[in-house]
Amino acid sequence: MAGNITRLELKGITKRFGEVLANDGVSLAAHKGEIKALIGENGAGKSTLVKIIYGVLQADAGEIRFEGEPVIVTSPRAARRRGIGMVFQHFSLFEPMTVLENIAIGMDQALDRRTLEREVSAILAAYGLPLDIHRHVDTLSVGERQRIEIVRCLLQKPKLLIMDEPTSVLTPQEAEQLFDTLRKLAREGCTVLYISHKLNEIKALCESATILRGGRVVGECDPRVETAQRIAELMIGSELANVERGGRRKAGGPRLVVDQLSVATDEAFGTELDEISFEARAGEILGIAGVAGNGQKELMLALSGETASPAKAICLDGVAIGSLPPPARRKRGLCALPEERNGHAAVPAFSLAENTLLTARERKKLSARGVIKPGAIRDYARRVIGAFKVATTGAEAPARSLSGGNLQKFVVGREILQEPHVLVVDQPTWGVDAGASAAIRQALVDLAARGSAVILVSQDLDELLSLCDRLCVMNEGRLSRPLVVGEASIEEIGLLMGGVHGQADTSKIKVAHVD
């Protein structure tokens, strides 16, 4: 910290939404040149607090002091004038427009194109941010899109930069590049307020942390010296439940067999699947690792039935299902949960009860002769809410009213309670807190223990290595041979993620053999 000069101080910040007390007398301080974490479970009040700092919301009580002076931040524009910038978890970009055009429309003060191009290029060079300012946004990766938002902030020369879940959709490489940028900003005197559920990255990046629970500050710590488990326990207020695997699972026969699956893509920057072959066995969790954008999305769509494929390329319990649509696959026992919970796994405007119809209509008999059974959908939604401890006002609550972690628990529970023969799940713990993550992981382990085959697609190698029996790696639409977890090192997996495809020396990689 630069001389321990206080940049931001909050005193007794309180915010209520009806009967919900989102922030309850929150006080904290952040200093010049400090990278400070703001952590807590979903619904702990983090996002509400930073929206108050940035002027999106107004506090009901309390005081904000910025550089020693009491301030009232009436709007984001007023925040930016004071030197407060924020990069939100969900980006606000116009995809048909170029990078430079998107930056221009986000500026408070208009600059002529040549001046803006010069200033943006200078920032990209100064912070080592690779980005082609003339490319259209719809051709960019998620990491490149985030850089647009960061550049927008840096053009304002912020004294305080708020980052809300900045790595939740980034590859490990993009995340490390982001950390380098934030460290450079801190060295230059900028204060960074950093929200994340990823405790290991908080330990690596942040100098201090304020912990929220139920809208209140419950602790401060130096994450560099605390264990991730101890920080998680401070967040949830109890001991963190360890995922119980119950010893090594004994795999049964194949439940899902994929043979030479090749799928073209209509998307300009999509990834074609190239002769994908694997099998997932009863009682097994099979992991699919890889850097985002290497065909995981396309594989998920093919397995779920949203993308058609040759009938015999996919077999479920010995029956060819490659040509079947998603409802027919679910009826036979293949359930799938996509990465994007809002808009794909769930309809935000629908109630939780209505959202059960999206995938459980056939398996849970939620309709009869095409007529919805309102009592049945409410009962099933309540069962999911109870079994997965979803924090909500009830089955009639709209999906959009839930925090991200609680909605994720709901959609995961909606699939698992159908007792599928095969569950394909993509990024199941993305953007959720430690407590919800542990609950979801335990549910996947328990499902496999009951004889289902679970296919877990994840960018989180720690998650894959802790849960899976075997894993394959996707790169450029191709899938590696399966590796037995515990017999393959991170370095070996990294080679496959980088695309060796067997050309490099793989003699040290122990390959799983199907019994």
Give the pLDDT score at 3: 52
Domain map of the chain by residue range?
Answer: 6-236, 254-344+420-497
The two tokens of residue 142 are 């998620």
In angstroms, rounded to a whole number, what is the distance separating the alpha carbons of residues 58 and 101? 31
Task: Please count the other Cβ atoms lying within 10 Å of the Cβ belonging to residue 50.
Answer: 20
What is the pTM for the complete model shown?
0.66
- Mean pLDDT lowest among 103-107, 152-156, 402-406, 488-492: 488-492
Segment 237-287, tens digit of pLDDT: 766 666 776 656 678 899 999 999 998 887 766 788 999 999 999 999 999
Half-sphere exposure of 267 (CA within 13 A, CB side): 14
| Count of all residues that appear for the chain in the document | 515
In angstroms, rounded to a whole number, what is the distance separating the alpha carbons of residues 174 and 38? 21
Does residue 511 register a pLDDT over 50?
no
Give the pLDDT score at 333: 96
Instruction: List the beta strands (DSSP E) in 108-239.
Output: 160-164, 191-195, 208-213, 216-221
Pairing label, strands 470-475, 483-484: antiparallel
Q: Answer yes or no: CATH 3.40.50.2300 is held by domain 254-344+420-497.
A: no
In angstroms, rounded to a whole number, what is the distance separating the alpha carbons of residues 321 and 308? 10
Give the pLDDT score at 106: 77
- Mean pLDDT lowest among 172-181, 448-457, 462-471: 172-181
Whether 6-236 and 254-344+420-497 share one fold: the answer is: yes
Under the banding of pLDDT at 50, 70 and 90, the label for residue 43 is confident
Superfamily grouping for domain 6-236: P-loop containing nucleotide triphosphate hydrolases (3.40.50.300)
Quote the DSSP letter at residue 463.
H
Segment 83-93, tens digit of pLDDT: 999 988 667 78
Q: Which residue has the higher pLDDT, 236 or 190?
A: 190
Does residue 498 register a pLDDT over 80?
no
Q: Which has the closest alpha carbon to 347: 410, 428, 302?
A: 410
Does residue 514 register a pLDDT over 60?
no
Give the pLDDT score at 146: 82
Average pLDDT, the chain: 87
Q: H/E/C letters for each residue in 258-302?
A: EEEEEECCCCCCCCCEEEEEEEEECCCEEEEECCCCCCHHHHHHH
In angstroms, rounded to a whole number, what is the distance separating the alpha carbons of residues 148 and 154? 10
Does residue 455 register a pLDDT over 60?
yes
Asked whether 182 and 147 are in contact (CB, 8 A), the reply is no
Segment 26-36, tens digit of pLDDT: 999 999 999 99
Give the pLDDT score at 246: 60
Does residue 497 register a pLDDT over 90?
no
The two tokens of residue 143 are 């990491």
Does residue 394 register a pLDDT over 60?
yes
User: Which residues lie closer than 8 Å to 395 by C-beta, 6 or more apart?
Assistant: 351, 352, 353, 377, 378, 381, 382, 385
Give the pLDDT score at 509: 33
Does residue 515 register a pLDDT over 60?
no
Under the banding of pLDDT at 50, 70 and 90, the label for residue 195 is very high
Segment 303-344, tens digit of pLDDT: 999 998 999 999 999 999 999 999 999 999 999 999 888 889
